[in-house]
């Protein structure tokens, strides 16, 4: 993470070409609610911030930081951070579709959780492990995600083409305990305070109907 490498003063002076957070249009094609909880997996840069955003979404039952895109044998922080394992830092979101749908989670993901136009990076975090990706759990999610990316590209919501990939058939692996609930546990850490915590403020601003003040935390 950039936050582990840079002090607050140094980080605050760095600039990166990034799209501003914005409320993107809703997905035209959503996933049926069905019965019982559903699972989604998203990757958009450092998982501290992505997890922190989804932990404040009403209807989310759990949001767990981890790795997706590579094998079980390389699903550890030390190896993933080399950028050579195929993994992305990801978040597994278990949600109640009666309260928040898959399409609505994608809308939050694209609006406030990250910049979906950056290729293999998010700001100061550079490498394949920081790519923008969705890891569908089934064919319906895969189609909904692909259709939504196409919809947003066609509507030219962003200045440049979206970089988000849809990667099917990938397993999610839970990250080490010290990565869980990192935003909530470290609110004044420079990287969190300057880069990640503002995303929760944007969630509250753009999606007041889905925002909850109390984060749902990963249990020890």
Classify residue 27: in a domain, yes or no: no
Residue 15 has a pLDDT of 43
Tell me how far apart the alpha carbons of residues 201 and 56 are, in angstroms, rounded to a whole number.
10
Task: Determine which one of 2, 46, 53, 203 is catalytic.
Answer: 46
Range of the domain at 195: 2-14+33-206
Tell me how far apart the alpha carbons of residues 120 and 26 are, in angstroms, rounded to a whole number.
25
Residue 20 has a pLDDT of 85
User: The domain that contains 39 carries what CATH number?
Assistant: 3.30.1060.10
Question: For residue range 133-186, what is the model confidence (pLDDT) as tens digits?
Answer: 999 999 999 999 999 999 999 999 999 999 999 999 999 999 999 999 999 999
Classify residue 79: in a domain, yes or no: yes
- All residue ranges of the chain with pLDDT < 50 are 3-15
Classify residue 68: in a domain, yes or no: yes
Residue 16 has a pLDDT of 52
Which residues are CB-contacts of 68 (< 8 A; sequence separation ≥ 6)? 41, 43, 87, 88, 90, 92, 133, 135, 167, 170, 171, 172, 173
* Domain tally, the chain: 1
182 belongs to the catalytic site: no
Classify residue 21: in a domain, yes or no: no
The model's pTM is 0.93
- Quote the tokens at residue 184: 């909530």
Residue 17 has a pLDDT of 56
CA distances, 20 to each of 114, 118, 154, 175 (Å): 10, 12, 19, 29
Residue 18 has a pLDDT of 67
Classify residue 163: in a domain, yes or no: yes
Classify residue 135: in a domain, yes or no: yes
Classify residue 161: in a domain, yes or no: yes
Classify residue 194: in a domain, yes or no: yes
């Amino acid at each position: 993470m950039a936050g582990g490498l840079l002090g607050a003063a140094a980080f605050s002076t760095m600039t990166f070409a990034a799209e501003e957070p914005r409320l993107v249009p809703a997905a035209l094609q959503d996933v049926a609610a069905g019965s019982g909880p559903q699972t989604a997996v998203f990757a958009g840069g450092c998982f501290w911030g992505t997890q922190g955003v989804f932990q404040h979404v009403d209807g989310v039952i759990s949001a767990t930081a981890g790795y997706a895109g590579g094998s079980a044998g390389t699903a550890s922080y030390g190896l993933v951070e080399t950028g050579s394992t195929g993994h992305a830092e990801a978040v597994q979101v278990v949600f109640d579709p009666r309260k928040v749908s898959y399409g609505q989670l994608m809308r939050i993901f694209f609006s406030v959780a990250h910049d979906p136009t950056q290729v293999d990076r998010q700001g100061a975090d550079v490498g394949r492990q920081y790519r923008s990706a969705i890891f569908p759990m089934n064919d319906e999610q895969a189609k909904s995600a692909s259709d939504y990316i196409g919809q947003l590209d066609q509507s030219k919501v962003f200045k440049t083409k979206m970089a988000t990939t849809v990667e099917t058939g990938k397993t999610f692996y839970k990250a080490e305990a010290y990565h869980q609930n990192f935003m909530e546990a470290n609110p004044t850490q420079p990287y969190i305070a300057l880069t990640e915590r503002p995303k929760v403020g944007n969630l509250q601003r753009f999606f007041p109907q889905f925002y909850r003040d109390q984060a749902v935390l990963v249990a020890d």
